[in-house]
């Protein structure tokens, strides 16, 4: 190992630190939830994606214990060898039925699912059309697919239409976050579907933040999109579902094609089947989760009303559990986040380059596991800062 190579890395790390862009992991003890112990401090957490409070729910924990006795810990092989367990298969069927699509495929993570779908559908001669605010995993997937990669301004459908009209690619895929992860707003699903139909494209919708929360838990698909053969739906299962993994739901032939072609599905060990057993229980909790969703909605309304006249910054328009408070400069957002932590409130500062310059923000996420009092505390502390 040449030491010059190592020195370059160390210089790079020092530069990140100097620019306040160094990423640091906080250390969690115990279980995920609204109240957590992080870096040894007991805090109210406003940054998890555990929107329904299912990550440590007793029913899911019991499902894990029960499954352990049946299937052990490891899957032992890839799905196409001997790793495809009945729990995986049962979950796929239950998920497809729940979201109203003919078939589904369970991937180990959302990142891998995005990579698998875009590489399998677009490949070398295809073209992927992507909203500029899509999640990093969709960006990476499009780039790694080898397809042409064309991005349109956030929500700008006339720019997208121009790009589709100009395309000579045979296989076209419009890929979009359904709920945008840093802004909390929704993609215009039916208008995207209109364009997909007009230009014979697939519409791939990543509903990482909508599944479990929107549409009685079924996510953000419209009735038309649910019924359309050209819509491919992704739910990640480590967020509101509280477990891990991601499920793609689509026409049977799309799912069959993914099993043949999606390398991140084929060439990796199946996820532990006990997780699929937990997911089956999670699906039951989501289906019967009206009370959780009502609590979450009431927290969203409480926060938005409470911060109407805040001096520090303004909430972006969002009806989802993602409630970004735009501060502006990186350093100001970081200072606000640190001050909240001194009040025992954990709210991350999201900075450039994750979000555009001068839109550094506190990314508040709410959960059904919060109490009205937790939300009131956050509102009060933010007013005290401003």
What is the distance between the alpha carbons of residues 126 and 170, in angstroms, rounded to a whole number?
6
Q: How far is the CB of 343 from ligand PLP (least distance, A)?
A: 27
What is the distance between the alpha carbons of residues 70 and 255, in angstroms, rounded to a whole number?
28
Candidates 45, 150, 228, 236; binder of ligand PLP (CB under 6 A) is 236
Candidates 127, 177, 183, 281; binder of ligand PLP (CB under 6 A) is 177
What sign has the CA pseudo-torsion 165, 169, 171, 173? Answer: negative
253 is catalytic: no
Residue with the closest Cβ to ligand PLP? 110
Q: How far is the CB of 181 from ligand PLP (least distance, A)?
A: 4
What is the distance between the alpha carbons of residues 348 and 28, in angstroms, rounded to a whole number?
15
Q: How far is the CB of 111 from ligand PLP (least distance, A)?
A: 4
Cβ pair 217, 287 in contact under 8 A: yes
Q: How far is the CB of 20 from ligand PLP (least distance, A)?
A: 24
Tell whether residue 34 is a contact of ligand PLP (CB under 6 A): no
Binding mask 240-259 for ligand PLP (x = CB under 6 A): ------x-------------
203 closest CA partner among 265, 121, 113, 260: 121
Tell whether residue 150 is a contact of ligand PLP (CB under 6 A): no
Residue 382 main-chain phi, psi, to 5 deg: -65, -40
Candidates 79, 85, 88, 135; binder of ligand PLP (CB under 6 A) is 135
Q: How far is the CB of 385 from ligand PLP (least distance, A)?
A: 27
| Catalytic entry in 48, 108, 181, 318 | 181
How many positions of this chain bind ligand PLP (CB under 6 A)?
14
What is the distance between the alpha carbons of residues 39 and 228, in angstroms, rounded to a whole number?
47
Q: How far is the CB of 136 from ligand PLP (least distance, A)?
A: 8
| Catalytic entry in 209, 244, 282, 318 | 209
152 closest CA partner among 135, 128, 171, 169: 128
370 is catalytic: no
Cα distances from 251 to residues 81, 156, 206, 216, in angstroms, run 24, 28, 16, 22
Tell whether residue 137 is a contact of ligand PLP (CB under 6 A): yes
Region near ligand PLP per CB under 6 A, out of 38-46, 85-93, 191-199, 201-209: 201-209
What sign has the CA pseudo-torsion 104, 87, 111, 21? Answer: positive
Candidates 100, 102, 188, 238; binder of ligand PLP (CB under 6 A) is 238
Q: How far is the CB of 6 from ligand PLP (least distance, A)?
A: 30
Tell whether residue 110 is a contact of ligand PLP (CB under 6 A): yes
Phi-psi sector, 40: left (phi>0), alpha (psi -120 to 50), beta = left
Cβ pair 219, 51 in contact under 8 A: no
Q: 358: which residues sit within 8 A by CB, 6+ positions away?
A: 328, 329, 352
209 is catalytic: yes
Tell whether residue 370 is a contact of ligand PLP (CB under 6 A): no
What sign has the CA pseudo-torsion 365, 371, 375, 377? Answer: negative
What is the distance between the alpha carbons of residues 127 and 173, in angstroms, rounded to a whole number?
6
Candidates 44, 53, 92, 109; binder of ligand PLP (CB under 6 A) is 109
SS3 236: strand
| Catalytic entry in 239, 244, 299, 318 | 239
Tell whether residue 92 is a contact of ligand PLP (CB under 6 A): no
Region near ligand PLP per CB under 6 A, out of 38-46, 110-118, 186-194, 305-313: 110-118
Which residues are catalytic, by number? 181, 209, 239
| Residues making contact with ligand PLP (CB under 6 A) | 109-111, 114, 135, 137, 177, 181, 206, 208-209, 236, 238, 246
């Amino acid at each position: 190992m040449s030491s010059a190579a190592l020195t370059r890395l160390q210089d790079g790390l020092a530069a990140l630190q100097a620019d306040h862009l160094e990423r640091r992991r906080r250390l969690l003890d115990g279980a995920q939830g609204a109240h957590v112990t992080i870096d040894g401090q007991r805090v109210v957490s406003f940054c998890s994606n555990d929107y329904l409070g299912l990550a440590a729910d007793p029913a899911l924990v019991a499902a894990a214990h029960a499954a352990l006795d049946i299937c052990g810990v490891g899957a032992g092989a890839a799905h196409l060898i001997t790793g495809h367990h009945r729990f995986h298969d049962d979950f796929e069927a239950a998920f497809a039925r729940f979201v109203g699509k003919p078939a589904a495929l369970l991937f180990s993570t959302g990142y891998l699912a995005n990579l698998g779908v875009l590489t399998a559908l677009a490949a070398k001669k295809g073209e992927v059309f992507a909203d500029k605010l899509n999640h990093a995993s969709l960006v990476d997937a499009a780039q790694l697919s080898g397809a042409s990669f064309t991005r349109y301004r956030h929500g700008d459908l006339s720019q997208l239409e121009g790009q589709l009209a100009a395309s000579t690619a045979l296989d076209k895929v419009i890929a979009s976050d359904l709920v945008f992860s840093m802004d909390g707003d929704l993609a215009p699903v039916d208008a995207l579907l209109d364009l997909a139909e007009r230009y014979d494209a697939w519409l791939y919708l990543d509903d990482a933040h909508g599944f479990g929360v929107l549409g009685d838990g079924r996510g953000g698909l419209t009735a038309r999109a649910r019924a359309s053969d050209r819509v491919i739906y992704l739910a990640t299962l480590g967020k509101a579902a509280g477990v891990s993994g991601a499920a793609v739901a689509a026409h049977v032939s799309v799912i069959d094609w993914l099993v043949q072609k999606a390398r991140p599905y084929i060439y990796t060990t199946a996820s532990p089947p006990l997780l699929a057993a937990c997911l089956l229980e999670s699906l039951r909790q989501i289906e019967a989760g009206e009370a959780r969703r009502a609590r979450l909605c009431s927290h969203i309304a409480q926060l938005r009303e409470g911060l109407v006249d805040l001096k520090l910054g303004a909430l972006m328009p969002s009806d989802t559990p993602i409630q970004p408070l735009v501060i502006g400069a990186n350093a100001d957002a970081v200072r606000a986040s640190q001050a909240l932590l001194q009040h025992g409130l954990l709210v991350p500062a999201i900075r450039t380059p994750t979000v555009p310059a001068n839109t550094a923000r506190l990314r508040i996420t709410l959960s059904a596991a919060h109490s009205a009092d937790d939300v009131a505390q956050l509102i009060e502390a933010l007013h005290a800062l401003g």
